[in-house]
Each structure stands twice: as structure tokens, then as C-alpha cells.
Amino acid sequence: MMQTYIDEAEKYLLHTYNRYQVVFDHGDGVKLYDTDGKEYLDFVSGIGVFALGYNNKEFNDAVKAQVDKILHTSNYYYNVPAIEAAKAVTEASGMDKVFFTNSGAEAVEGALKVARKYAYLKDGKTDHEIIAMNHSFHGRTFGALSVTGTEKYRAPFGPMIGNIKFAEINDLDSVKALVTDKTCAILCETLQGEGGIRPATPEFLKGLRELCDEIGALLILDEIQCGMGRTGYMYCFQKYGIKPDVLTTAKALGCGIPMGAFLMTKEVADNSLVAGDHGTTYGGNPLGGAACAAVFKLYKELNICENAKTVGEYLFEKLEEVKNTYSEITDHRGMGLMQGLEFDKPVADIINNALDNGLVLINAGTQIIRFLPPLIITKDDVDRMIVILKEAIENAH
């Protein structure tokens, strides 16, 4: 039956994804089940989306209740769920104002517009520059792609939007070398995801903050993947005692309901976008708002950040043991429940072997296995994962 679904998908869906040969049907906790009933341990969580795991009753009930009330009104009108969600995300992040989007890429688009409008209002010029990082990933839309520091993603779709420069993460001198009197923003993932699970160092982040303050540019931190508790902090930057001017977030923000946001300080909000500058039809609709508000409520009740920190430390220990066991593993990086093992060869065979044996993993580049489990994961789940991972590594030799 599952192969029939796969064949039908390939007949009708545009082939922009090299999908793994499985059709998932339902989930429960940290487990997924395919259409043939086979059980899998999930260490992907929909690429960091299902932080609360699958089939959380309180979350499901909140979404179902909103479905029976109203799904959409447009942003010409207020709605209570979006107001509740706005209060929750601003309080959790320490930011002051929020704009809700449908996705992470849209959040990045909005952040870029904020930066350029903020600079435009200061000097009336439209030639401002943005410094982003090599190996970064910010999304597939044109603006987000333009600041994505991986050439293979950009090359087929040029020309990109202009005045973007790329520095090296954790190399402050490489950033300073690109600064001109046109620099209006510096954009960085606090912990790079798709680009290889590369955390920004405390010294680098503090240096970026000081540099932006010095030159009057905005610091934009992209926490679409590393935010929402994944590193053991609600937002990763909170570990380092700094604060961005603009923050992007998505993924677990709606735990499966399409939801993203860009947030900003009051200073930036008061001096950038105004009515008519930006908009969205679906962003911040009542369904998304209800999901988002429920997520933050459950994060508190279930101590999600603390679990991510505790189990994340255990996962780090266990992956270190794996790294030290196999010579083909060249590095282990990450924080909390966002970690990666880098190999000296492509990892596709390992991931496929693990999938055959009931473990769901994904890559970050061709040679890195990425670990992004639901944030409700336990140490026992980690132990079970390690057993299957080792078998997969050995069988892929």
C-alpha cells in the first residue's frame, strides 16, 4: 500500500524534494507510524517543528476548539488568539513588537524590510547594505535566498537582491572588513542549522552586538530553527546576555500549524514599518494564534526548556561516545536538542539504514547527520536511538 502512495505522489507532485521512501500516517509522543503500521523513533520532529511531540491532547483540543469558532478574518480586524499569542511570544523573547507570518522565510523577508526601512528613515538613501554569514540558510524566497550564504542555493536563480555581503561566522574581523557607511544590518543564525550545526560563539555574538551599536546598524538574529526552546533556552541568544534588534522565529512556534514571526525592539518598531509597508493575508489568523498561544502555555506546564537542556546534555555525552568510537566521524557540534555529527563521507546510506530500522534522521549537508528530536524526548529515547544509529553506521561501512 505504501509504495502505491509513493508512486501516486511522484505522478502529481512537483519533484523538488528527494523524499525518503516512507509515507507517515500518524504519530504519538516521539513515535511516528507509516501507512503500513510500522513504528519509528522520530529524531527529526518535522525539522524542528513538533517540539511537543505528536498527538498532544491539550494542544490538539486548543486547535480543534478554534476550528469550531473561526479560522480567518484578515488583518483588517483584531482577533483574540493572535493577541494572546503576541503577548506570549514577546514576553518569552524579551522583544517588544511582533508581526506574525506563515513561515520562517516570510519572517526573514519582513526582517530585511525592517532593516532597510529603518536605515531609509535615517538618511533617505536606498543603497544600504546587509552583511550575512557564509554557510547560512534563511529560506527559499528571493529575499531570504539572497542572504543565504550557500552559493548552490542562489546560483540558479540570480540575480539576487543587491547589496548583500557574506562574512564568516565566528570571525569578527571578517565582518568588520565588510562594514561601510552603507551597512544597515548584520544577519546571523545564533546556531546555524542547515549550514552544518555551527553555533556562534559568545565572543562573536557580543562582538556583533557591540559593532552594530557602534555603527548604528541593526543586529538581526535568525532563530527559526534554534529558537523555541531547542537549545535549552527559549531563544538561543538568551544564553549569551545580548539582545538583537530584530528576531525571526518559526518552526515550533505553531507546532505543526504554519506560523512564523519577526519581532523587534520598541526603538526599531517606532522607526521602521508603518501602515501600508507590510502585510499578509493569512499571517496571525485565529487558528495560528490559538496554536501559538497553546504552545507557550504547554512549554511552561511541561518545563520544555529544562527538558531540552537536561536531555540535550545527555544526548551530547552519548553522541561524543559515538564520535570517539568511529574514525569516520570527524566532528560533533551543537547545543541542547540541536546537534550534528560530521562524517568524512556522505551520510545518506546511514540515514536510509536507520530509517529501515525504525529511526528517523536527516542530514545537514551531505556529510552531517542532524539530530532534532521533539523536545519531550527522554534519556531512554536517546539510548534507543544510539543503538540503532550505531547499527546503521556499521551496516553502512
pLDDT for residue 109 = 98
| Mean pLDDT confidence for 352-357 | 97
pLDDT for residue 396 = 87
For residues 130 and 79, give the distance between their C-alpha atoms in angstroms, rounded to a whole number. 35
Q: Which three cell numbers stand for residue 199?
A: 553555533
For residues 244 and 214, give the distance between their C-alpha atoms in angstroms, rounded to a whole number. 14
Q: pLDDT exceeding 70 applies to what percent of the chain? A: 100
Look at 257 and 396; give whichever has higher pLDDT.
257
Tens of pLDDT, residue by residue over 40-91, are 999 999 999 999 999 999 999 999 999 999 999 999 999 999 999 999 999 9
The one-letter amino acid at 357: N
| Mean pLDDT confidence for 206-218 | 98
Element spanning 63, H or E: helix 57-67
pLDDT for residue 284 = 96
* 251 within 8 A of 337, measured Cβ to Cβ: no
Tens of pLDDT, residue by residue over 195-206, are 899 999 999 999
pLDDT for residue 1 = 85
Tens of pLDDT, residue by residue over 91-128, are 999 999 999 999 999 999 999 999 999 999 999 999 99
pLDDT for residue 90 = 98
Strand partners, 26: 33
Tens of pLDDT, residue by residue over 247-291, are 999 999 999 999 999 999 999 999 999 999 999 999 999 999 999
pLDDT for residue 397 = 67
Give me the domains of the chain, ranges plus CATH numbers.
2-56+303-395 (3.90.1150.10), 59-301 (3.40.640.10)
Question: What is the separation of C-alpha 3 from the centre of its chain, rounded to a whole number of angstroms?
Answer: 31
The one-letter amino acid at 52: L
Tens of pLDDT, residue by residue over 132-186, are 999 999 999 999 999 999 999 999 999 999 999 999 999 999 999 999 999 999 9
Tens of pLDDT, residue by residue over 369-394, are 999 999 999 999 999 999 999 999 99
Three-state DSSP state, 31: strand
Would you call 253 exposed, middle or buried from its count of C-beta atoms within 10 A (0-12, 13-18, 19+)? buried
| Mean pLDDT confidence for 338-357 | 97
| Mean pLDDT confidence for 31-40 | 97
H helices present in the chain, as ranges? 2-12, 45-48, 57-67, 80-93, 104-123, 142-146, 151-154, 172-176, 202-215, 266-269, 286-301, 304-325, 348-356, 379-395
* 123 within 8 A of 179, measured Cβ to Cβ: no
CA 255-261-265 angle, 5° bins: 135
For residues 283 and 74, give the distance between their C-alpha atoms in angstroms, rounded to a whole number. 8
